Amino acid sequence: MTDQQQNQSEAYMPDEIRADRACIGCGFNLYGQTVTKEPHYGMAITRCPECGTVAALQTYPSMSHWVNRFRSIIAAVWIVLLLGALAGSTVVLTGLSLSATELASENLAEIIGASHEEWGKAKEAQAAAVNATGGTTPTAAPTTTTTTLPTVFNGTTTITTTTGTTVVFPGAGSRSFRWVTISEEWRKDHLDSTIEQAGGVWANVDGEFLIMLIPGIIVGVLCGVFWSVTLLGGTKRRAILVPLVACFVAAAIVIGINSTDSSFQWAREIARGYYAPIIVPIMIGVQFTAISVGVFAGRKIARFVVVMALPARNRVPLSLLWTCEGHSLPKPK
């Protein structure tokens, strides 16, 4: 550099950076940083106060606006993807809770369906009798009696009416009555008494809904790990709020679906309406516990998987898994 040029550069050298300029090391905005003259080449430089990287004022090429544009686009796409994942989590939780409710309500659905079927037959027989006598004989409304034996006696339910007796076997033996359409008249007059005679809602819970806890727990833990790793910017306590929202929405959907009241419902729908407020909190509670375990252990699991699967060189781009919690990237052995 000639003396003339050196004098010129000294004359016009600003004291500090007066524009936005990102550090090439950490992205810190160097606005306001003091500019010094580096003795070796005589270049105007500044040091990043965050990472200490030297930034020369005369560089080629200059910063592009497209970086910020790309970042904005990618951030928007990422948010859309996260919203999609939240919707997916909600759907999975809803499906598992709905299946558990369906399984738990099978016994009661069979009893309701069978009882209604018998009542219908009795009513038909009564109408036939009225027609035979010319419609002059007053008749009493048909009645049904439901008796449920305890589990030690195979848990069968006997439904006795004026026309006969039907025995409902719980489990795989009987499932034809679940799809019986229940009339509004019977629901108003006989539904509560039938359930009461059968031993109540709790006595007729089909224990097989518990098998849904296995996929529920596995899916919950995986869901928790996913959210823990995806929401690296927040703490674990904050990350747990997102699946919590999914749990609430899933519970509301399942209870909402099963509380709709229409004139004609299948026996299984009515039975599900009784079990949804009991089974849904249990299922959602268990799944939320599994999700919490997944969220709190998720980052550790992810770090373990990365260390196991990748050699040290390939771990560097995933270093955020360590740095987000203040750890340093493990050194290669």
Partner 1 sequence: MTELARIRAVPDLHYGLAVVVCPSCDTACVRTRHPDIQFWRNFRRLHQSIRLVIFKVFLSIALGALMFGLVMWGREFDSSNFQSIDPGRQFGAWATAILIPALACASGCVIRLVYRHQHAVVPLIALVIFGVFFTWVDYIFMGLTLMMSKIGGFDFSYHTWSANDFILRASLFSFVIVCAFVGFLPAKFLSPFMSRSPNRKFRKLRRKRLKSIERSH
Minimum Å gap between C-beta 56 and partner 1 is: 4
Residues 74-133 binding partner 1 (CB under 8 A) are 99, 102-103, 106
Q: Least distance (Å) from partner 1 to the CB of residue 53?
A: 9
209-229: buried (b, 16+ CB within 10 Å) or exposed (e) per residue?
A: beebbeebbebbbebbbbbbb
- Site mask, partner 1, residues 243-262, x = CB under 8 A? --------------------
Piece in contact with partner 1 (CB under 8 A), picked from 79-87, 120-128, 291-299, 306-314: 306-314
Quick one: 121 or 175, whose CB is closer to partner 1? 175
- Which residue in the set 13, 26, 51, 56 belongs to the binding site for partner 1 (CB under 8 A)? 56
Options 121-129, 210-218, 239-247, 293-301: segment touching partner 1 (CB under 8 A)? 210-218
Question: What are residue 37's DSSP bridge partners?
Answer: 44
Region of 51-59, 192-200, 239-247, 282-290 interacting with partner 1 (CB under 8 A):
51-59
Among positions 3, 12, 60, 128, the unique one binding partner 1 when judged by CB under 8 A:
60
Nearest to 216 by CA among 82, 122, 101: 101
Query: Which CB atom, from 61 or from 233, has the smaller least distance to partner 1?
Result: 61
The full 3-state SS of 153-193, as one line of letters, equals HCCCEEEEECCCEEEECCCCCCCCHHHCEECHHHHHHCHHH
Applying CB under 8 A, which of residues 66, 152, 188, 328 lies at the interface with partner 1?
66
* In the complex, least distance from residue 172 CB atom to partner 1, rounded to whole angstroms: 6
Residue 133 CB, shortest distance to partner 1, in Å, is 42
Stretch that binds partner 1, among 114-122, 231-239, 279-287, 315-323 (CB under 8 A): 315-323
Residue 61: asked if its preceding bond is cis (omega within 30°), the reply is yes
**Which residue from 11, 128, 152, 308 is in contact with partner 1, where contact means CB under 8 A?**
308
Question: What is the C-alpha to C-alpha distance for residues 167 and 161, in angstroms, rounded to an integer?
Answer: 12
Residue positions counted in the chain: 333
Q: Name the minimum Å distance from CB 1 to partner 1.
A: 5
Q: For residue 205, with 0-12 CB atoms within 10 Å meaning exposed, 13-18 middle and 19 or more buried, which class applies?
A: buried
213 binds partner 1 (CB under 8 A): no
Q: How far is CA 306 from CA 82, 296, 311, 316, in A?
A: 22, 17, 9, 10
Residue 44 sits at φ, ψ, to 5 deg, of -85, 120
C-alpha 246/C-alpha 86 separation (Å) is 7
Contact pick of 11, 19, 152, 214 for partner 1 (by CB under 8 A): 214
Q: To the nearest whole angstrom, how small is the minimum distance from the Cβ of residue 230 to partner 1?
A: 12
Q: Provide the residue type at 83 as one letter.
A: L
| 318 forms part of the interface with partner 1 (CB under 8 A) | yes
Q: Half-sphere exposure of 288 toward its Cβ, with a 13 Å CA cutoff? A: 18
Spatial neighbors of 208 by CB under 8 A, at least 6 apart, are 103, 104, 106
Sites for partner 1 among residues 10-29 (CB under 8 A): 22, 24
Where b means 16+ CB within 10 Å and e means fewer, 151-182 reads: eeeebbbebebebeebebebeeebbebbebeb
Q: For the sheet containing 165-168, what is the strand order?
A: 144-148, 157-161, 165-168
Q: Which lies closer to partner 1 via its Cβ, residue 147 or residue 319?
A: 319
Footprint of partner 1 on this chain (CB under 8 A)? 1-2, 5, 22, 24, 38, 40-43, 45, 54, 56, 58-61, 63-64, 66-67, 70-71, 99, 102-103, 106, 171-172, 175, 208, 211-212, 214, 305-306, 308-312, 314-318
